[in-house]
Amino acid sequence: DIQMTQSPSSLSASVGDRVTITCQASQDISNYLNWYQQKPGKAPKLLIYDASNLETGVPSRFSGSGSGTDFTFTISSLQPEDIATYYCQQYDNLPPSTFGQGTRLEIK
């Protein structure tokens, strides 16, 4: 199975800060990488698909980049409503699809 290593596991930042989360695959997954946001008590929500494509309706402050084994998720200017846990997910080798361990984002 492909392992996804996400870092950091938690992050504290101030409103307006640029926030970056990384995800590393255990083998080449091309651009088959998605990013999700999960707020407490809610289902996950798709933000980015195919590593860098913004899902319809998602604010442009969210972005993604990378290919192969190394991927980055960025929030350009952190807003209070962005408090959530963020997950990467690979679908190159399915089954199984695998998620990263998650990054919990808090406001400083």
Binding site for other proteins (CB under 8 A): 1, 32, 34, 36, 38, 43-46, 49-50, 55, 87, 89, 91, 94-102
Shortest Å distance, C-beta 95 to other proteins: 4
- Of 51 and 78, which CB lies nearer to other proteins in the complex structure? 51
Q: Residue 26 burial (CB < 10 Å; 0-12/13-18/19+)? A: middle
Residue 78 vs residues 12, 28, 36, 71, 84: alpha-carbon distances, Å: 11, 30, 16, 19, 11
Shortest Å distance, C-beta 34 to other proteins: 4
